[in-house]
Each structure stands twice: as C-alpha cells, then as structure tokens.
C-alpha cells in the first residue's frame, strides 16, 4: 500500500506550517516586547533619576542661597547662637547630611552641633579647595553627596561661606523602588498576555493573527504611551494625560500607578518651589521671590510706574538682647501681620510684600486703576497708614512693646531703572528717615 499525500495531510502540513510561522512571528514579537519593556524601564529609571536629582539640586541651590543671605548679619556680628540656629534649621531639611559655616580661610565656625567640636579646623576634604576659593554659589558632587556652597558677602566683603551636603540615598531608593515596581508590573502583564496568546495559537492561524493585533493594541500602545509620558516628565511636563486610566485590567493599574508617581513628583516640586520662595518665619515672600517680582515689574518698561517701600524696624536689636530671640521672632511676625493688614485694606494699591531678612521688609507698590490720584500721593497716604499702624503698642508674652519703623520710598523710573538701582535708592531713603529721627518715611532724593 503506497503512501498518499492527500488533502488532509496537506491541510495538516499547511496548519503546521502556519502554526510554525505564527509561532516564529510571536517569538519575534515577544522579543520585541521584551526589548521595548527593557527600554521603557531604563528610560523611566533615567527620567526619574534625572528629575528627582534636578529637584534636589534646585532645593540645594535655594537652601544655599537662603542660608547665605540669612547668615550675613549673624556672621558679621559673630553671633554663634543665631548661626547655630540657622544651621540647625538647614539640617532639618529632607536629605540634608551636613551643614557648615566657615570663615574666608576655610576654618569651620559652626557645624550645627552643640559642642562645635570641629570649630577652627580648616576644611581639607577633596572639595574644600574649590569651595574656599569660590566667589559664587558652587554645586559639586562627591559620591552619594551633592555639596552646595555659597559665599557670605556683605557688600563686596566676603565674611565666609556656608556649605550644605545632601545625601542621594533617598533619590537612589526612590528610583530603585519605582523601577522595581514598574518592572514587576510589566513582567506580570507580559506573562499573562503572552500565555493567553500561546494558548490561542492552537485554535487557528487567523485567531492567532487576530490575537496578535489585539495584543499590539492593548499592550504595546499603552507601553509606548508610558514611554512618551516618561519623556514628557523628563522634559519637565508633569501634567501628562494618559488615556486608559479607567481600565479595570493591569494596564489600567499600571497607568494609575504611573499617574500617582507623577503626582508625587509634582507635589514635591511644588513644595520645593514654595519653600524656595517663602520666608519660613513670617510666611511672606522672601528676598529671592521679591527680586524675581521686581525684575518682572522693571521688564514691563516705563509705561507702568511703581515703587518700592523699604521698611526697617526701629531699635529692634534691644528686643533680642533684652527679651531673647523668641520674643524677637514673635515681634517680626506681628510686624508682618500688620504689614499685610494695612496693604490688604488699601484698595488704591496693588502690592507684593516680602521680608528681605532680619528686621528688613519691603513692599512693591503699584497704584490700582481706581486710585484716582498720582502715585506719589498714594504712596504718601500708604506710608502714613503704615507709620500709624506700627506706632500702636502690641503685647507679646504678657509684655507690652512700643515699636515703630522707618520707611524709604523709591519710585520707578524716576529713582532707578533697574532692580538694583531701586533697591539701593530705597535703602538710602530709609536711612535718611532713620537719621531724621525714625518713625517716619522719606522719598529718595538725589540731593
């Protein structure tokens, strides 16, 4: 009996060939998916690392600049108590490893400890030479530490510097956890979907092709969207919209997890920006935020006149010396509250109050459209209201304080056309008010 290669054999051969081709195609697809999965994981890891590291560096720059500004007066007066308090506040920040204040020769003045065991020792670590010689804010990295240092300047005189180290341990831990969670979820999704594909391949060639198309839509496309979203996040766009978050499957879970991770990064970014632009004691804008606002006002040009009012509390130092820094801090907060009350109650002005540091406050003022009076007249009325408000006594810790303030007013563009010129003019006018007997205001006068 001779063997006959009949239709059934041909069909089975065709089915076997089709299954083999489909299997090879699916194997190739699997390799492609695995390769894409590895690329997504690597891209996501790099994006998270770069983004979190960038935010940490922004936090470090802001903290270094703020600490350097806050330390000017204490270092000039060599007040170790205030220096220690500022250094201790810096060390409470997330990821802060160390904080050191040093003199122009690199000798340590304070390290945040009670005993200051390293006092007088000259910094000699590998980064110290550049730090001591630096004339501006310097960012360096040494292993798992990001080191930011900033010189402390009084005018053109260098009083010393402050150096803060931030640990990258939390960045690395956050990166590892996020990458591991993403990899586990992608592996789980791949296992489930490709197991279904290999089961369905036995039914028919057509069904295998359909399943391959479905897999392309339900798996590859969302992963590519995640990869695109990771690139957007790396570029700084934290408002990424991913379709499919309402899906009840693992892809939906992965997308929701990705969105939660993005929300966490965005929240940390907002917190860093808020900390960087707010005075921690009074809640007013700090010097950095005020300088940005002033630069923006100057950039609008001469068609929009405005003014800066520089305020300095009269005889503030005796309060600290007699009643302690806690009472002084409460007095500063009371001053800031009254500052806000006066400017918020005045409908003829648009204002941006801020604290420059110590007992110095500043106000950016523009006449409101409904002011109905020249800017200088509006400023005079506002200054009179401020003087009247600050002349009222206040009670702090069952003690009554009578304090006042002196104000210097500089008008743009009459008294200066740059932010630095206006700040200097306001400072000159404020000291004229001090010399004239305090508790008063003066407009800047070139004479």
| Position with higher pLDDT, 277 vs 80 | 80
Q: Supply the pTM of this predicted model.
A: 0.44
For residue 294, pLDDT over 80 is answered with yes
Distance CA 334, CA 315 (A): 15
Digit-coded pLDDT (tens) for 83-139: 889 888 888 888 888 989 999 998 999 888 888 888 989 988 888 889 888 888 888
**Would you say 257 and 249 are in contact if contact means Cβ atoms under 8 Å apart?**
no
- What pLDDT is stored for residue 155 in this prediction? 83
Digit-coded pLDDT (tens) for 133-178: 888 888 888 888 889 888 988 888 888 899 998 888 877 787 777 7
Predicted confidence band at 4 (pLDDT cuts at 50, 70, 90)?
very low
- What pLDDT is stored for residue 420 in this prediction? 92
- What pLDDT is stored for residue 238 in this prediction? 56
SS3 annotation, the chain: CCCCCCHHHHHHHHHHHHHHHHHHHHHHHHHHHHHHHHHHHHHHHHHHHHHHHHHHHHHHHHHHHHHHHHCHHHHHCCCHHHHHHHHHHHHCCCCEEEEEEECCCCEEEECCCCCCCCCCCECCCCCHHHHHHCCCCEEEEECCEEEEEEEEEECCEEEEEEEEEEECHHHHHHHHHHHHHHHHHHHHHHHHHHHHHHHHCCCCHHHHHHHHHHHHHHHHHHHHHHHHHHHHHHCCCCCCCCCCCCCCCHHHHHHHHHHHHHHHHHHHHHHHHHHHHECCCCCCECHHHHHHHHHHHHHCCCCCCEEEEEEEECCCHHHHHHHCHHHHHHHHHHHHHHHHHHHHHCCCEEEEEEEEECCEEEEEEEECCCCCCCHHHHHHHHHHHHHHHHHCCEEECCEEECCCEEEEEEEECCCCCCHHHHHHHHHHHHHHHHHCCCCCEEECCCC
- What pLDDT is stored for residue 8 in this prediction? 41
Q: Quick one: average pLDDT of 282-297?
A: 87
- What pLDDT is stored for residue 9 in this prediction? 47
**Would you say 118 and 111 are in contact if contact means Cβ atoms under 8 Å apart?**
yes
**Would you say 200 and 207 are in contact if contact means Cβ atoms under 8 Å apart?**
yes
Q: In whole angstroms, what separates CA 136 from the centre of its chain?
A: 20
Topology of 287-443 in CATH?
Alpha-Beta Plaits (3.30.70)
Domain ranges of the chain: 22-50+171-274, 71-167, 287-443
- Residue 440 main-chain phi, psi, to 5 deg: -160, 180
| Position with higher pLDDT, 271 vs 142 | 142
Whose tokens are 């028919």? That residue is 204
Rg (CA), the chain: 32
For residue 253, pLDDT over 80 is answered with no
Average pLDDT, the chain: 79
Topology of 71-167 in CATH?
Beta-Lactamase (3.30.450)
Q: Quick one: average pLDDT of 426-447?
A: 90
Digit-coded pLDDT (tens) for 372-421: 788 888 889 888 988 888 888 888 877 888 888 899 999 999 999 999 99
CB within 8 Å of 289: residues ≥ 6 apart: 276, 277, 278, 354
Peptide bond into 154 cis (omega under 30): no
- What pLDDT is stored for residue 308 in this prediction? 93
């Amino acid at each position: 009996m001779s063997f006959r290669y009949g239709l059934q054999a041909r069909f089975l051969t065709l089915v076997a060939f089709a299954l083999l081709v489909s299997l090879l195609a699916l194997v190739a697809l699997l390799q492609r998916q695995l390769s894409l999965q590895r690329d997504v994981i690597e891209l996501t890891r790099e994006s998270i690392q770069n983004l979190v590291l960038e935010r940490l560096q922004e936090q470090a720059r802001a903290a270094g600049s703020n600490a350097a500004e806050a330390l000017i007066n204490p270092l000039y007066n060599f007040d170790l108590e205030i220096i220690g308090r500022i250094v201790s506040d810096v060390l409470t920040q997330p990821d802060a490893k160390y904080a050191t204040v040093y003199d122009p020769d690199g000798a340590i003045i304070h390290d945040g400890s009670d005993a200051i065991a390293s006092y007088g020792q000259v910094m000699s670590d590998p980064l110290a030479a550049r730090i001591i010689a630096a004339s501006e804010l310097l960012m360096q990295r040494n292993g798992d530490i990001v080191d930011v240092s900033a010189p402390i300047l009084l005018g053109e005189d260098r009083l010393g510097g402050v150096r803060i180290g931030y640990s990258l341990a939390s960045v690395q831990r956050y990166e590892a956890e996020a990458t591991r969670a993403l990899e586990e979820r992608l592996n789980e999704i791949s296992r489930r979907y490709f197991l279904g594909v290999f089961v369905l391949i036995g039914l028919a060639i057509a069904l295998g092709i359909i399943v391959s198309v479905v897999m392309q839509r339900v798996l590859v496309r969302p992963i590519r969207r995640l990869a695109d979203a990771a690139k957007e996040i790396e570029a700084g766009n934290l408002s990424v919209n991913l379709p499919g978050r309402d899906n009840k499957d693992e892809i939906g879970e992965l997308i929701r997890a990705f969105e939660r991770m993005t929300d966490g990064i965005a929240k940390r970014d907002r917190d860093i920006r808020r900390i960087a632009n707010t005075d921690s004691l009074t809640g007013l804008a700090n010097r950095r935020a005020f300088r940005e606002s002033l630069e923006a006002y100057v950039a609008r040009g001469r068609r929009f006149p405005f003014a800066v009012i520089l305020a300095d509390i009269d005889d503030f130092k005796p309060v600290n010396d007699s009643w302690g820094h806690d009472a002084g801090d409460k007095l500063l907060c009371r001053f800031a509250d009254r500052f806000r009350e006066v400017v918020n109650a005045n409908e003829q002005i648009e204002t941006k109050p801020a604290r420059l540091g110590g007992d110095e406050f500043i106000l950016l003022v523009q006449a409101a459209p409904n002011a109905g009076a020249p800017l200088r007249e509006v400023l005079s009325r506002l200054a009179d209201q401020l003087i009247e408000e600050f002349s009222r006594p206040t009670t702090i810790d069952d003690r009554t304080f009578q304090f006042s303030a002196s104000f210097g007013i500089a008008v743009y563009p009459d008294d200066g056309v740059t932010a630095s010129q206006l700040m200097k003019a306001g400072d000159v006018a404020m000291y004229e008010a001090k010399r004239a007997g305090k508790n008063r205001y003066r407009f800047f006068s070139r004479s």
